[in-house]
């Protein structure tokens, strides 16, 4: 693991913000912060709070006329997962060809996030030239989690909002951010209840075992319904790659099920423990408080509304987040699907 992201991202982001303020929809210097018990609240009156232009029902109908991440001038830097480096110049085709064949297309850009709630918050876009829709898979999530190999900062997090979950860009991307100002996200300290633990070793002796690290699935005691997936052993530098593969594989199973059932969702991934938090959502129709993202589900409520920011207590924050969450039926279907599937396939 290298720490190249820790050394450079904040400085590069600040330079981009100061040099290209016309690209940002929010004045981050005006963002205010306060705490309400376990919740953090952020308020910025200039923050967008209109529904996404992307239709709320389209996981399969990809409209590539929507906003995309393709302009090089919006790139903060490029990350090279293969060599664990970052660079400010777009890699040449010759450089890409030198990459290890097992890590094809090693270079991926970090783009300006036009609505950053936290300093340094940016978009990791995978294969931008392919213009993949905002629907993550096992392979793509596992690839995105390679960002953690470029950092030694335990507060690095990945965030993701699917189609129908207020993503304004129908072009595969993840939020990259550091959570030092919050000491990590509040949900990470919530009570967790074990649903299932599996070794990911096949019950069928004829099957080839692909994973060396098992996983645990927890239900998180939180106002928003949340499934957490993590390695069953402590993560360190020696097993981080294997743990990423295991966690990414199971998360992919869960997300595929949500997509098939047309359930919007948000995801947050911690870099230090490889914990993946999956939030099944409802389609948001009331934007009077704000335009909810993975941040809200993680316990950082983002609002443009002064009255809510000044007056909301832990009960109001809890009710707001709960209202964004999927109903019991969607939750029970998801949990039943993944626990039964894992129990059927693996020891």
- Residues 307-319 have pLDDT tens digits of 999 999 999 999 9
- pLDDT computed for residue 292 by the predictor: 95
Helix (H, G, I), strand (E, B) or coil at 266: strand
Burial of 290 (0-12, 13-18, 19+ CB in 10 A): buried
Angle between helices 240-260 and 328-345 (to 10 degrees): 130
Instruction: Report whether 300 contacts 117 (CB < 8 A).
Output: yes
* Range 243-268 burial, b when 16+ CB lie within 10 A, else e: bbbbbbbbbbebbebbbeeebbbbbb
What domains lie within the chain, and their CATH numbers? Answer: 4-345 (3.30.428.70)
How many CB atoms are closer than 10 A to CB 125?
24
Instruction: Report whether 28 contacts 18 (CB < 8 A).
Output: no
Burial of 49 (0-12, 13-18, 19+ CB in 10 A): middle
d(CA 125, CA 68): 10
d(CA 87, CA 281): 36
d(CA 173, CA 58): 17
Q: Give me the torsion for CA of 184, 117, 229, 62, rounded to 10°.
A: -170
Biggest alpha carbon–alpha carbon distance for the chain:
62
d(CA 190, CA 318): 13
d(CA 128, CA 183): 32
Residue among 238, 242, 232, 234 at smallest CA distance from 210: 242
How many CB atoms are closer than 10 A to CB 114?
15
Burial of 234 (0-12, 13-18, 19+ CB in 10 A): exposed
- pLDDT computed for residue 105 by the predictor: 62
Q: Tell me the whole-structure pTM to 2 decimals.
A: 0.93
d(CA 268, CA 286): 23
Mean pLDDT by 10 residues, the chain (347 residues): 81 87 85 95 87 58 55 84 83 56 68 91 89 89 92 94 86 92 93 97 93 97 96 90 95 96 96 94 93 97 96 97 96 98 95
- pLDDT computed for residue 36 by the predictor: 95
Residue among 71, 80, 170, 179 at smallest CA distance from 121: 179
- pLDDT computed for residue 95 by the predictor: 52
- pLDDT computed for residue 102 by the predictor: 42
């Amino acid at each position: 693991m290298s720490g190249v992201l820790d050394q450079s991202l904040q400085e590069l982001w600040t330079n981009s913000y100061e040099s290209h303020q016309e690209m940002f929809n929010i004045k981050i210097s005006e963002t205010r912060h306060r705490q309400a018990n376990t919740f953090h609240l952020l308020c910025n009156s200039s923050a967008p709070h209109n529904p996404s232009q992307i239709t709320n029902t389209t996981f399969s109908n990809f409209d590539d006329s929507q906003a995309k991440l393709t302009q090089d001038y919006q790139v903060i830097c490029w990350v090279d997962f293969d060599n664990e480096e970052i660079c400010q110049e777009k890699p040449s085709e010759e450089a890409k060809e030198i990459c290890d064949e097992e890590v094809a297309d090693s270079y991926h850009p970090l783009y300006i996030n036009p609505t950053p709630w936290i300093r340094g918050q940016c978009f990791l876009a995978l294969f931008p030239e392919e213009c993949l829709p905002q629907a993550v898979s096992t392979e793509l999530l596992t690839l995105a989690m390679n960002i953690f190999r470029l950092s030694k900062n335990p507060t690095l997090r990945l965030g993701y909002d699917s189609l129908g979950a207020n993503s304004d860009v129908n072009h595969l991307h993840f939020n990259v951010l550091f959570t030092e100002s919050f000491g990590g996200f509040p949900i990470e300290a919530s009570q967790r209840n074990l649903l299932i633990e599996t070794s990911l070793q096949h019950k069928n002796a004829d099957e080839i075992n692909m994973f060396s690290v098992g996983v645990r699935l927890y239900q998180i005691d939180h106002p928003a319904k949340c499934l957490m997936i993590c390695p069953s052993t402590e993560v360190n530098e020696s097993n981080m790659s294997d743990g990423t593969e295991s966690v990414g594989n199971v998360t992919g199973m869960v997300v595929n099920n949500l997509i098939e059932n047309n359930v919007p969702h948000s995801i947050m991934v911690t870099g230090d423990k490889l914990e993946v938090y999956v939030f099944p959502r409802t389609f948001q129709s009331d934007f009077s408080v704000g335009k909810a993202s993975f941040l809200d589900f993680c316990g950082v409520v983002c609002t443009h509304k002064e009255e809510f920011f000044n007056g909301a207590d832990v009960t109001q924050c809890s009710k707001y987040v709960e209202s964004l969450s999927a109903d019991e039926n969607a939750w029970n279907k998801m949990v039943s699907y993944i626990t039964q599937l894992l129990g059927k396939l693996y020891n």
